[in-house]
């Protein structure tokens, strides 16, 4: 019912990352609150599809468990959603744990090469999937792999709660690519790619 309220208010897409599909690791890193409920979070996107979201973006926070396990589980999740809610447009993102406030040792690091392997694998398996590459990654890294099947790039991102309004909250994590929108569009053009900004899907 709450998802339906968001759709009626004008929202057409939802992004919700499981963070880790490995149940033991999920419990280890989520120690309190509603978010601690693994199955509730796992089922949330199915509720979103039933409510009528046009686009749904999935992902896991790479670094909490082995990236190969996360890749297989994420692919299974996408296939399940595509089979049962086939009118939805699906997307995926592969955020890596980078610098953050506080002290946290990443238990399962993923290298640049492994991330490239992950992205290209998903592009081959899911040719119609929207793949987003976030500003967590460096400008150099994004410039070099944007042509390997990336369909969406974020720009001018803010990671603090309420960051796009007048919030003074601290960032949840740091971004690495600080270029503005025009600089990102120029980079895409230099890579013989067409920068497209669109918001007409719902129509």
> Which tokens is 62 given?
């790479």
Q: CA 58 to CA 200: how far, in whole Å?
A: 21
Whether 173 has a pLDDT exceeding 60, the answer reads: no
Structural contact between residues 118 and 148, judged by C-beta atoms closer than 8 angstroms: no
Split at pLDDT 50, 70, 90, the class of 102 is low
Which tens digits make up the pLDDT trace of 26-80? 999 888 888 899 999 999 999 999 999 999 999 999 999 999 999 999 999 999 9
pTM of the model: 0.85
> Which tokens is 82 given?
């595509």
Which tens digits make up the pLDDT trace of 181-201? 898 899 889 988 888 887 666
């Amino acid at each position: 019912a709450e998802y339906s309220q968001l759709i009626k208010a004008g929202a057409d897409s939802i992004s919700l990352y499981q963070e880790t599909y490995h149940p033991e690791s999920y419990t280890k890193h989520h120690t309190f609150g509603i978010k601690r409920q693994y199955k509730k979070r796992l089922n949330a996107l199915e509720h979103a599809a039933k409510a009528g979201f046009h686009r749904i973006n999935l992902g896991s926070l790479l670094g909490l468990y082995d990236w190969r396990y996360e890749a297989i589980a994420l692919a299974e999740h996408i296939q399940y959603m595509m089979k049962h809610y086939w009118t939805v447009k699906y997307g995926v993102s592969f955020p890596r744990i980078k610098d953050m406030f506080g002290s946290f040792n990443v238990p399962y690091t993923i290298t640049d090469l492994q991330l490239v392997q992950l992205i290209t694998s998903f592009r081959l398996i899911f040719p119609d999937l929207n793949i987003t590459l976030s500003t967590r990654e460096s400008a150099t890294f994004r410039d070099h792999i944007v042509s390997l099947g990336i369909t969406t790039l974020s720009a001018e991102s803010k990671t603090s709660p309420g960051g796009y309004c007048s919030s003074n909250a601290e960032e949840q994590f740091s971004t690495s690519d600080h270029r503005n929108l025009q600089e990102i569009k120029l980079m895409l053009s230099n890579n013989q790619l067409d920068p497209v900004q669109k918001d007409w899907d719902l129509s």
